[in-house]
Amino acid sequence: MKSCPRCTYPLEEITHKEVELDHCRRCGGTFLEPEGGSEVFGPFVDPAVWADSEIATDLGRWQLNCPTDGSALKVYRVEYGEDSVEVDLCPRCRGIWLDADEGVTLRDIVMDAGQDETTGLSVKDVRSGPVGYIFQLISQFPLEVWNPIHHRPRATIALIGVMVGVLMIQFAGGFGSFTDQFSLVPSQILSGRSLWTLLSSIFLHAGILHLVGNAYFLYVFGDNVEDYLGGRVYLALFFASGLAGGVLQVATQGDPQISIIGASGAVAGVMAAYLVIFPRVKIYQMFRIIRFRIRVAWFLLFWIGWNIVGAIIGGGDVAWMAHIGGFLGGALFAYQFRVRPLHRVLSGA
C-alpha cells in the first residue's frame, strides 16, 4: 500500500473525473500521475506549462519521496505577483504531489501569469498580432488572451456541425415547413403541445450571420468548458441551458404566436459556465478601433447586463429572455462543478 509522503498515512486510491489518484484522508494531500493534474484542474496545473518558465524556481530541496517509485520529489516555488506556492514533482515518473489547497492555488497563479504577456507563458500567435487585430476590427468579436486546452473539443465541433447541417436543410426548403415544424412556438408549449421543440429549435437559425455568431461564441468559450467538464457533462450543460432559456422565453414573451429559433440560450449557458470556471482569464476586446484586454468576468457581466436592459426596453427580433434564462441555467449548472480544493471535493464538503 502506498503511503502519504507528507504524513505517512496510507493513501487511498480514488477515481475522480475518470482519473485515478492517490489521496490522503488525514492531511488532504493528493498524488496525481502524469497528466492527472491537467485532467482534474485543467492544463494550467500541467508541469509542462510552468516548470521551465520564469514563474517557477527550483528550490533544490528533496524532502518527500514519490509514493509510486520512491524517488525524491523535487520542490518548485511557483509565484506571480504576491502569490506563491511550493509544489513537489517527481523527476522520474513526472507525477505531482499537491497538499490540501495547492491544486487551486497553483492553477490560479499559472492562469494569472499566463494572462500577462511579459511572462512568456502564453503563446504569441495570430490572436495577439495584426491578424487578430484586423479580425476583431471587422467582427468586433472577443478573442482569448490565453486559455489552453488539453483535449480536442469534439462535442463542441459536433454541435456546430449539426447546426450547419440543419441550416443547409433550412436553405434547401426555403425556410418553409421544415423550419416551422421544428421552431419553438410559445402558444403550443403553453397548451402542452410540441414540447420537444424546446430542444429542436436550438439547432435552427435565421440565416448565416445568425449561425456564425452563435457558432463563434460557442467555440471560443465552449472548447475550454468542454475540456474541463468532459464531453458528456458539457452536452448536458448545453441542452439544460437551452431548455432553461426556452422556458423563460415562453413564459415571458408578449406575443405567444411568434416562433423562436437559435442556439443563443444554450450558448449563453456555456458562456456562464466559462465565467464560473475561468473568471480570471482575460480576453482581447475592441471598442471601435481600440483593442484592450479585460477579464472575461467583466465582459460577460456586461453582456448579461446588456441583455437585461434589452429585455426591459424590448425591441428587435432578439429573444432577450432566452439569453438570460440560458445564462442563469448555465451558471447554476456549472456552479456544482466549480474549481475547489481537491480534498473538499473528495470528502464531499
Predicted local confidence at residue 348, as pLDDT: 67
Predicted local confidence at residue 126, as pLDDT: 72
Q: How many domains does the chain have?
A: 2
- 167 shares its domain with 33: no
Exposure string for 268-303, b = 16+ CB within 10 A, e = fewer: bbbbbbbbbbbbbbbbbbbeeeeeeeebbbebbeeb
- 58 shares its domain with 184: no
- 76 shares its domain with 151: no
Three-state secondary structure readout of the chain: CCECCCCCCECEEEEECCEEEEECCCCCCEEECCCHHHHHHCHHHCHHHHCCCCCEEECCCCCCECCCCCCECEEEEEEECCEEEEEEECCCCCCEEECCCHHHHHHHHHHHHHHCHHHCCCCCCCCCCHHHHHHHHHHCCCEECCCCCCCCCHHHHHHHHHHHHHHHHHHHCCCCHHHHHHCECHHHHHCCCCCCHHHHHHHCCCCHHHHHHHHHHHHHHHHHHHHHHCHHHHHHHHHHHHHHHHHHHHHHCCCCCCCECCCHHHHHHHHHHHHHHCCCCEEEEEECCEEEEEEHHHHHHHHHHHHHHHHHHCCCCCCHHHHHHHHHHHHHHHHCCCCCCHHHHHHCC
Predicted local confidence at residue 168, as pLDDT: 94
- 20 shares its domain with 103: yes
Question: pTM score > 0.85 for this model?
Answer: yes
- 183 shares its domain with 327: yes
Residue 349 lies in a domain: no
- 39 shares its domain with 103: yes
- 105 shares its domain with 190: no
Strand 96-98, strand 83-89: pairing: antiparallel
Residue 175 lies in a domain: yes
- 168 shares its domain with 268: yes
- 88 shares its domain with 222: no
- 30 shares its domain with 59: yes
Predicted local confidence at residue 231, as pLDDT: 94
Which residue, among 42, 110, 84, has the nearest Cα to 338 in the 3D structure?
42
- 244 shares its domain with 103: no
CB neighbours of 234 closer than 8 A, spacing ≥ 6? Answer: 155, 156, 222, 225, 226
Residue 345 lies in a domain: no
Residue 7 lies in a domain: no
Residue 278 lies in a domain: yes
Which residue, among 30, 212, 198, 37, has the nearest Cα to 107 in the 3D structure?
37
CA 108 to mean position of chain CA atoms: 15
Q: Which residues of the chain have pLDDT under 50?
A: none
| Containing structural domain, residue 22 | 12-122
Predicted local confidence at residue 275, as pLDDT: 97
CB neighbours of 7 closer than 8 A, spacing ≥ 6? Answer: 24, 26, 27, 29
Residue 108 lies in a domain: yes
